Structure 1
């Protein structure tokens, strides 16, 4: 019998720190804090170089990525990692997030996200279920639905 596995969702990104900020605000999650002392120890020990780092909001961070997490911790939802890739996305996502806003007004949420840089791609319906397919500021698809 296989033990259940834990996982994280990883999203390729041109600008992982800003995209992590965007998604953390969108979901009401938090960006994982940077451990500057740990980063400095890795550089001092020769495991990393200054080129592996950057500053984001004045804080030393790994250039390669940023992660967000649910405020209640990993037992509530998987971590989402935004990792830097040099090439742009060129085809439709094969996997995407469905953001379920519960009793919140979906149209108001969609309007707020558009105001923050998202785009509406189309409206969907299957039986009584409805959703809005959107693209985040880097063009990654996601859906917003009531449940």
Structure 2
């Protein structure tokens, strides 16, 4: 058996607001709040469930350099255009990283500037 991802850890200035944003985006719930201000979100099954949890760790200073990891999202209950509008209403912003305009995906950032992509393919929800 190989490993599987249990949680993703994201350093951020405001764990509470970023957790709210990603809970809305992914349909997750807050699983725990920690004394140091960190927040963990995931499916109601929690850690070890069908998807990794996301742990927002408080960082007063941003990490040096650009993050080399980003999340790709797939719509599950609507088409890409409708999901793009929903994400923008939640606070996502469009990002220009040199796209040609011919891509089948959209590059966005969350409220703290972390890049992620919205793909065209639609997946079945778990």
Question: Normalised by the shorter chain, which TM-score bucket?
Answer: 0.7 to 0.9
| Contact 2:32/2:41 (8 A) holds in 1 | no
**Cα distance between partner residues in 1 of 2:71 and 2:113:** 13
Q: How does 1:1-147 map to 2 (within 5 A)?
A: 4=3, 6-34=5-33, 61-73=34-46, 74-88=48-62, 91-102=65-76, 104-122=78-96, 125=103, 130-147=104-121
Structure 1: gaps (5+ residues): 35-60
* Matched residues, number: 116
Whose strand fraction is larger, Structure 1's or Structure 2's?
1
- Per-residue Cα deviation, 1:100-146 (whole angstroms, up to 9, x for no partner): 11451211211121122110114562xxxx21110000000111113
Superposition deviation, residue 5 in structure 1: 5.2
Superposition deviation, residue 89 in structure 1: 5.2
| Contact 1:65/1:82 (8 A) holds in 2 | yes
**Cα distance between partner residues in 2 of 1:124 and 1:67:** 36
| Contact 1:133/1:144 (8 A) holds in 2 | yes
| Contact 1:102/1:146 (8 A) holds in 2 | no
Query: Against the structure 1 CA distance between its residues 33 and 9, is the aligned structure 2 distance closer, same or farther, given a 3 Å change threshold?
Result: closer
Structure 1: 4+ residue segments shifted above 6 A: none
Larger radius of gyration: 1
**Partner SS, residue 25 of structure 1:** helix
**Partner SS, residue 72 of structure 2:** strand
| Contact 1:103/1:146 (8 A) holds in 2 | no
| Contact 1:124/1:133 (8 A) holds in 2 | no
**Cα distance between partner residues in 2 of 1:89 and 1:106:** 31
Whose helix fraction is larger, Structure 1's or Structure 2's?
1
**Partner SS, residue 62 of structure 1:** coil
